Structure 1
């Protein structure tokens, strides 16, 4: 029933023993609250209420559904802090949670993250599929066709995701998020988060997209991020980060827009050098200064020894060096050539004077 013109409230009459496994009401005009009678649907795996006009708080009671894998309530009017229940086994199978584009507030829910057991282990038996702009899951049912009897199964392809972007969350990023090692997409951008990026996020070995942009994060990018070899998309823009950008692996592929709005960052791909590059830059500058000083000293000696055309050559060298910035070795070749010319002329002049003296005698 997605992308229809349904309006009004969601019915509250979901009865006990319901065999409903997927409810997709995405892209309608539904209003009101999320009915708590959905807790009667113990077989429910997919609940997509995104892109409606629902006005409610976080439906924590959905955590009692033992098979719920996908929860999307993006683009609604949900609000307030996310509080979790004291029940131990909350959201045990949840692999996709999308709360983006709402008005949730308060700290990021550490207590919720510690309940997400399915995100804390990598299940190799699940085949994760890539999705498009708003395609998070795909239901497939094998059927009997053309006279061949096939096993009728329902396969749910999942792409483990947490999207809490475009809300009003504040405080620090919980360290416990680094325990959600099955994550492939983490987006907590466009909130009011502050403090340092926890190094524990470097443990998300499967993450392919990481977006922490448009917050108030400070400090350095954790060096552990360089080990995220699956990372294809990184956005840390518009924070207050500083220091050296990690180098190696995937970090060689990211462009400036991954870091823009952080004036304190240095290193590739931004233009300011960092670390060893910065030291090398200093050394190069010192070497250039020493070379230039040595060149000027050599030039002064050559200019003093020469006269006439020699002086012109010396002045030409200075002009050439100042205007083109050519390497010092090239200038030294010129100076040596000038010196040889001057010495040759002096030798010739001495020879001429000696000849005149012999003629006079």
Structure 2
């Protein structure tokens, strides 16, 4: 998911709330659904109240949160509750593109402005005119692009790459990051003036371990709406659900969704039992203790092996591997170049799982 694809939650079907046979976990609980966000926990209720207050304003919003917590869903909720709801919502992942491509994607370019620019291109900022521009992983922006973004925010106008005339653009800016941007400012990796421009209002996306009440309804939702059409509608044993709730989910909603999709496909029968759960979820302490320090194995080799295993697990799909590892696609590209493995994974071997 980019982060958004992995955690996007369409409307909760009414059958999920009404069916007693599917799971008593859902039927017995009051579940709130705001657009694409499903929740019942107090911490999420407080977050949604914050969104209700923030949305009608024109203030820039910074969404903070760990990878996989659904920061784009929060950005969409802000847009959908704003006066700009009937205008475009445009999202760009700042960590997924090289600097040379990022400027063109964000601001557009004129025909002939660089090799390969055969036609004029409208940038995403211009495409969002009147609506909301969502910059995910803004902490990954190169300093040169940060300066141009700051000018855009201050002046309300952009210059296409190779263009000489300013173009007025009216957008509401929502940004997201899993980095501590104030620390990045101190390290010189993020402009202080830009930091204060984008964090007029800060909203925090809570990790799944802080909203455990939401896990049962999310599990049942994912089981009813996963990719495996033939295996939809599976229910989960009460003891298995307790284990799912107890687990800390370091990858947050994205990890939970992936786990549910695997259970949906691989578990036998209509009821998911404790033994169907992966060992790492059933016995996380055992998994943690099983790795002992080996002075003969440097961290570099361990990291390389783990990253390549993730790529093998996802059939060479770099986007999904990065999401599963909890790193940005840009970081994964850099690591593959460092290992001399980039060409091997230039094209993934099987289609990306939705």
Do both proteins adopt the same fold according to a TM-score greater than 0.5, normalized to the shorter chain?
no
Larger Rg: 1
Richer in strand (by share): 1
Richer in helix (by share): 2
- Place the TM-score, normalised by the shorter chain, in its bin: under 0.3
If the length of structure 2 is used for normalisation, what is the TM-score? 0.21
If the length of structure 1 is used for normalisation, what is the TM-score? 0.21
Greater relative contact order (CA < 8 Å, ≥ 6 in sequence)? 2
